[in-house]
């Protein structure tokens, strides 16, 4: 099941979108069922409010928490 979360930017760093030829700052994190993570900007969804409505990512006690970098 695909899940989407607000993207946490590490302090003093900018995380960019994983989209091809995209240089926008990433707004949200997509996590695939297999744990694969993708960073995307609201520009790709044409929605500037979508990412703001997503819940923050809570660490899974079974998996070490990772920042999206």
pTM of the model: 0.66
pLDDT digits (tens, 9 = 90+) for 3-15: 888 887 778 888 8
Residue 24 lies in a domain: yes
Which residue range(s) make up the domain with 23? 3-53
Residue 9 lies in a domain: yes
What pLDDT score was predicted for residue 25?
Answer: 87
Task: Say how many domains are in the chain.
Answer: 1
Residue 43 lies in a domain: yes
pLDDT digits (tens, 9 = 90+) for 21-46: 888 888 888 888 888 888 888 776 66
Q: What whole-number distance in Å separates Cα of residue 2 and Cα of residue 33?
A: 6
| pLDDT at residue 68 tops 50 | no
User: Terminal CA-to-CA distance of the chain, rounded, Å?
Assistant: 22
Residue 11 lies in a domain: yes
């Amino acid at each position: 099941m695909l899940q989407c979360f607000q993207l946490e930017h590490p302090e003093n760093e900018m995380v960019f979108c994983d989209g091809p030829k995209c240089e926008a700052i990433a707004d949200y994190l997509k996590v695939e069922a297999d744990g694969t993570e993708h960073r995307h900007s609201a520009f790709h969804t044409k929605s500037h409010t979508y990412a703001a409505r997503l819940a923050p990512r809570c660490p899974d006690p079974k998996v070490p928490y990772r920042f999206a970098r």
